[in-house]
A and B are shown apart, each in its own frame.
Chain A
Amino acid sequence: MTLDAIFPLGWQHYLAGGLLIGTGVSLLFVTTGLIGGMSTVFSSTLSYVSRHRFFHQPRFIGSRVWRLVFAAGLIAGAALWLLLSGRAPVITQVSWWQLALGGFIAGFGARLSNGCTSGHGICGMALLQLPSILAVVIFLTTGMVTAHLVRLIGGA
């Protein structure tokens, strides 16, 4: 099997991007000691608009500012990359019902699991935490099965 067969679009940008992501998560830890998964920002930001006591736990109230700043950094970093690379934005063709339903289920599941591809996938695995490693194996499996089924029924 050749490299072209497993990376038809090239491999360098994937590895460079991954190293850059790891550098960001590392810089966060070295400067502030914080562990930065992304999905918690949804629950912590909801504390600004919901009065329900779940969203007002110390773990959300105490982290809601930096989590929003971190999310703003993600947007700014991607915008800066677009500017520097001089490329046109790539607009997804995935249908809106897939984005809406998939986003809802992924948001619900990530919060139930207390982690997503970044929290369990990057931070949890980098800490060699067994629950996170199992979570990654499980969401890779259900993700692959679902993506194949969606294609069967004619989705993007």
Chain B
Amino acid sequence: MKPRSLLAVLLSGMLFGAGLALSTMIQPEVVLSFLRFADFGLLLVLGGAVVVTLIIYRAAPAMMKSPLFESAFSTHPSVLNSRTLGGAALFGIGWGLSGVCPGPAIAGLGAGNWPLLVAVAAMFVGAWVQGRFFGE
């Protein structure tokens, strides 16, 4: 990938990480208070992110022949099968147990929430077990 593309990826990630920090999603306590119906802020975070993304995912391919630095717009092929749905059910159990999911766990490290290292390490182990023993 071209250096300017990688720089754009870095900047995009920085906006993403700053948003996760600003919205306090990097605090598992805030996520758990949403899952326990005490604070519905997570819905505003998710809703705000989805609306912006939905508009750009439609507008950009309609208005541009290709992305600025690369040749084509990708798609996200999500498939309707038992792995997608069963995996989501398991993911939710882990999420409800810890209040942590991949993005906030990684971003939280940058904001000094160091115990999240335990969660990130455990996610690596979970991803390894999935790929090694259940991968297709």
* A52 near B131: Cβ-Cβ < 8 Å: yes
Residues from chain A with Cβ under 8 Å of B53 in the complex: 22, 25-26, 29, 122-123, 126
* B118 near A105: Cβ-Cβ < 8 Å: no
Residues from chain B with Cβ under 8 Å of A42 in the complex: 102, 123-124, 126-128
Residues from chain B with Cβ under 8 Å of A22 in the complex: 19, 48-53, 56
* A110 near B9: Cβ-Cβ < 8 Å: no
* B14 near A116: Cβ-Cβ < 8 Å: no
Residues from chain B with Cβ under 8 Å of A138 in the complex: 85, 88-89, 92
Among A70, A93, A101, A119, point to the contact of B97 (Cβ < 8 A): A101
Complex alpha-carbon distance, A25 and B45, angstroms? 13
Among B49, B78, B90, point to the contact of A25 (Cβ < 8 A): B49
Q: How many residues of B contact A (CB 8 A)?
A: 117
Chief secondary structure at chain B's binding surface: helix
Encoded as 1 (CB less than 8 Å from any B CB) or 0, chain A from 15 to 29 comes to 111111111111111
Complex alpha-carbon distance, A90 and B30, angstroms? 11
Task: Tell me which residues from 106 to 136 in chain B have a Cβ below 8 Å from any Cβ of chain A.
Answer: 106-116, 118-132, 134-136
Encoded as 1 (CB less than 8 Å from any B CB) or 0, chain A from 53 to 96 comes to 01100000000011001111111111111100100011111101
Chief secondary structure at chain A's binding surface: helix
Complex alpha-carbon distance, A120 and B78, angstroms? 8
* B52 near A19: Cβ-Cβ < 8 Å: yes
Complex alpha-carbon distance, A146 and B10, angstroms? 34
Task: Tell me which residues from 95 to 121 in chain A have a Cβ below 8 Å from any Cβ of chain B.
Answer: 96, 98-121
Residues from chain B with Cβ under 8 Å of A82 in the complex: 21, 110-112
Q: Closest B-chain residue to A7, C-beta based?
A: B41
* A79 near B94: Cβ-Cβ < 8 Å: no
Which of A9, A22, A119 has the most C-beta atoms of chain B within 10 angstroms of its own C-beta?
Answer: A22
Complex alpha-carbon distance, A62 and B45, angstroms? 30
Q: Closest B-chain residue to A91, C-beta based?
A: B113
Q: Closest B-chain residue to A19, C-beta based?
A: B48
Residues from chain A with Cβ under 8 Å of B62 in the complex: none
Complex alpha-carbon distance, A119 and B70, angstroms? 21
Q: Closest A-chain residue to B45, C-beta based?
A: A18
Complex alpha-carbon distance, A46 and B126, angstroms? 11
Residues from chain A with Cβ under 8 Å of B136 in the complex: 54
Chosen A-B contacts, 6 in total, with CB atoms closer than 8 Å, are A9-B41, A27-B12, A39-B123, A89-B111, A104-B123, A131-B81
Extra contacts besides A103-B126, A106-B90, A138-B85 (8): CB < 8 Å? A11-B44, A39-B102, A42-B127, A46-B131, A90-B113, A107-B123, A143-B92, A145-B96
State the B residues within 8 Å of A (CB). Answer: 1, 5-6, 8-30, 32, 35-42, 44-57, 60, 64, 66-76, 78-81, 83-103, 105-116, 118-132, 134-136
